[in-house]
A and B are shown apart, each in its own frame.
Chain A
């Protein structure tokens, strides 16, 4: 578990470290969450924009990844397409631990619209098994990877 205050401190530090490495994360709403956007080219050649947020979840008291993908006219990309073409989760993966089962739409607590989130219900359990200096960085090295988010080498957890 991580207190909200600690989360904000670590988030601010994280964003600073990322910008030193020229990675484009920004603090939003005076430090309530961090945001990163980039363009992704899919194997079909289509270009989509990815919008990724790190928020504090006050129920589970852990960080949570929220994300969405958009067409260039701003329309959100339908779930099936996100799963198949962007996250590339194989259809055969139907087990409960599959990422497919742990992602769904939910109301973004700050924007008030539907975004995808990776369910935070197992985060605490997973984090208990990791020992490290920064909760946020080790959390992101587990959860960010599932979205194809990378960390600069200097921040990698060994």
Chain B
């Protein structure tokens, strides 16, 4: 792992504005502005946002169970890293220049396609994701040898934005002591309006040369289109158009930057992963 790169990735932040439509005689409270680390989750941020809104005198207390969150009029996934949400939107339509606008709504009932995620549930998902990543990398050799308190410690480093604690933990997961190569690389690819895609992708090609991130993304998208092709449904044929763009036109976005296609996959895995140990790549159309 490269300390400088990991530190930069950890430190990168995005501007976020939360607005609350409360109605009532007091009107809406002022928006809440904050800079969020890209690696954090809305599930972790929401309690702070609500406690700020709830600081108003005489305002009705707003409970997390009673709100839902929207971006651009659509429900937002509270359990994917904020940086990935930002990169998905940043392609065209952030409402105002570069700021992620999250609308906190109190209308009941909440839309059925929104899912509130508690901090506890977020922690469980995070741990399952780290374990899955380690299964891909080492067949879970590392996580099964980790101390019982290690996993909660990794999660705490995310909750507390504590890089030093994170760095101590993440090296165990990314640079295992036995020095073996990763078997597969934990990589999730986001195509607009579809669930993320992942597949078993090895670090090297069969001929021993290093696989690049461009190769890996193309293979994942190809695998998913070919399995869609064998299962022709109206849904899949309608949504696969964005994958049809030729590979060279695709931009691979992670942490707000265009990741060069020739980046070795293993470099991306070790240095560009989010704390959940997955590399998250958002596919954008060419400018």
The residues of A with any CB-CB pair to B shorter than 8 Å are 29-32, 58-60, 73-76, 79, 104-114, 119, 121
Q: Is the CB of A109 within 8 A of B195?
A: yes
- B109 pairs with A73, CB closer than 8 A: yes
Shortest CB distance B224–A (Å): 10
**Of B127-135, B211-219, B266-274, which stretch is located at the interface?**
B127-135
Residues on B lying within 8 angstroms of A by beta carbon are 77, 79, 109-110, 112-113, 115, 117-118, 121, 124-125, 128, 131-132, 135-136, 140, 194-196, 198-200, 227, 230-233
Q: What B residues does A59 contact at CB under 8 A?
A: 132, 135-136, 198, 200
CA distance A56 to B137 in the complex (A): 19
Report whether over half of chain B's contact residues are helix, strand or loop; otherwise say mixed: loop
Residue of A nearest to B227 (CB): A32
State whether B121 touches A60 (Cβ < 8 A). no
Q: A107-B79, A112-B194 are in contact. Are A30 and B112 (CB under 8 A)?
A: no
- The answer for the CA separation of A113 and B110 in the assembled complex, in Å, is 15
20 CB < 8 A contacts A-B: A29-B231, A30-B231, A30-B232, A31-B231, A32-B227, A58-B200, A60-B135, A74-B112, A75-B112, A76-B115, A79-B118, A104-B125, A105-B121, A105-B124, A107-B195, A108-B195, A110-B195, A111-B195, A114-B115, A121-B140
Beyond A75-B109, A104-B124, A106-B125, whether A113 also contacts B115 by CB under 8 A is yes
Task: Specify which chain B residues have a CB less than 8 angstroms from the CB of A111 in the assembled complex.
Answer: 195
**Closest A-B pairs by Cβ, 3 of them:** A112-B195, A30-B231, A104-B124
The binding surface of chain A is classed by DSSP as: loop
CA distance A112 to B121 in the complex (A): 17
Give the residues in chain A near B136, CB-CB below 8 Å: 59
Q: How far is the CB of A57 from chain B (nearest CB, A)?
A: 9
Q: By the criterion CB–CB under 8 Å, are A29 and B195 in contact?
A: no
A58–B199 CB distance below 8 A? yes
Q: Enumerate chain B residues within 8 angstroms of A79, measured Cβ to Cβ.
A: 118, 121
CA A114 to CA B261, docked complex, whole Å: 31
CA distance A108 to B209 in the complex (A): 34
Give the docked Cα–Cα distance between A2 and B233 (Å).
Answer: 26
Contacts A32-B231, A59-B136 supplied; 14 other A-B pairs, CB < 8 Å: A30-B231, A30-B232, A32-B227, A58-B198, A58-B199, A74-B112, A79-B121, A104-B124, A105-B121, A109-B195, A113-B113, A114-B117, A119-B131, A121-B131
Cβ of B118: which chain A residues have Cβ within 8 Å of it? 79
How far, in whole Å, are A123 and B71 apart by their CA atoms in the complex?
38
Contact assessment for B117 and A105 in the assembled complex, using a CB-CB cutoff below 8 Å? yes
Provide the residues of chain A in CB contact with B110, threshold 8 Å: 75
Question: CB distance A106 to B128 under 8 Å?
Answer: yes
A32, A110, A114, A119: which has the most chain B beta carbons within 10 Å? A114
Q: A9: shortest Cβ distance to chain B, in Å?
A: 14
The CA-CA distance from A29 to B234 in the complex, in Å, is: 11
Q: Are A104 and B200 in contact (CB under 8 A)?
A: no
Contact status of A119 and B128, CB under 8 A, knowing A59-B135, A59-B136, A105-B121: yes
